[in-house]
Amino acid sequence: MIVDILSLFPGYFKGPFNESILKRAQEKGLLTIRLTDIRDFADNRFHRVDDRPYGGGPGMVMMPQPVTMAIQHVKTPEAKVIYLSPQGRTLNAVKCRKLALEKHLILLCGHYEGIDQRVLDEEVDEEISIGDYVLTNGCLAAIVLLDAFSRFIPGVLGHPSAAAEDSFEGGLLDYPHYTRPEVFQGCSVPNVLLSGNHQEIAKWRHEQALKKTQEIRPDLLA
């Protein structure tokens, strides 16, 4: 998959994408991440990309010209353009699975009070929110989105079934996990996990996942 990220701060992304799973995914050729500075497409000598909003109000709005030019510079016929926005549909695991099937994604990061609506109407395919809160810019949201859907790209995770057993898969939160030592500060690993009975272990894990979901996220069960 190719992912183009358009923002005013391309340096923002270099740390998260150069570590751990996302770094290995790029080294394996499973994921190509390209960073574009929207300021490079400003049509003025000062590389200005924002202006006061029509109708008044606080803050600044990103102008349509540089944003549109940046999108069109990287856009391909198979590209899907996503705007990271608090006004978008809330991200979930089902959406992540769908995005992982795309060949080319363009992630547009908002800044200031937002982007001129004409860009969203003409160039953006979908708006996605990572939660009911507002960030100082869309860069962090783009990182969260990319990290979330990349886990469903075949080969990115070490074990092929790892993503399928995480929280929200099957409508439940994850079950508790344990590892060595068997006893730690007086607390023991549940006996069923030491039994070797895979049927009983699967039953226990499902019961624990159901209990956790009922306590924390009953809306998932509804």
pLDDT digits 0-9 by tens, 80-129: 999 999 999 999 999 999 999 999 999 999 999 999 999 999 999 999 99
Average pLDDT score over the chain: 94
Tell me: pLDDT of 161 over 70.
Answer: no
Q: Could you give the strand order of the β-sheet that contains 126-129, starting from the edge strand earlier in sequence?
A: 32-37, 2-7, 104-109, 79-90, 126-129
Q: What is the spatial distance between Cα 126 and Cα 83, in angstroms, rounded to a whole number? A: 6
Write down the catalytic residue from 4, 10, 151, 205: 151
Active site (annotated) includes residue 215: no
Model pLDDT, residue 163? 62
Model pLDDT, residue 165? 62
Write down the catalytic residue from 113, 127, 169, 174: 113
Model pLDDT, residue 14? 86
Write down the catalytic residue from 86, 127, 147, 174: 86
Active site (annotated) includes residue 53: no
The answer to whether 76 touches 104, Cβ cutoff 8 Å, is yes
Q: Name the pLDDT band for 158 (thresholds 50, 70, 90).
A: confident
Model pLDDT, residue 171? 85
Q: Mean per-residue pLDDT for 126-139?
A: 96
Write down the catalytic residue from 51, 78, 166, 207: 166
Active site (annotated) includes residue 151: yes
Phi, psi of 127 (to 5 degrees): -105, 135
Whole-model pTM over 0.85? yes
Active site (annotated) includes residue 86: yes
For residue 34, give the nearest of 122, 82, 104 by alpha carbon: 104
Q: Name the pLDDT band for 203 (thresholds 50, 70, 90).
A: very high
Q: 128: Cβ–Cβ under 8 A, 6 or more apart, which residues?
A: 82, 83, 84, 85, 88, 89, 90, 91, 95, 141, 145
Model pLDDT, residue 45? 87
Model pLDDT, residue 169? 72
Q: What is the spatial distance between Cα 64 and Cα 209, in angstroms, rounded to a whole number? A: 47
Q: Mean per-residue pLDDT for 156-161?
A: 76
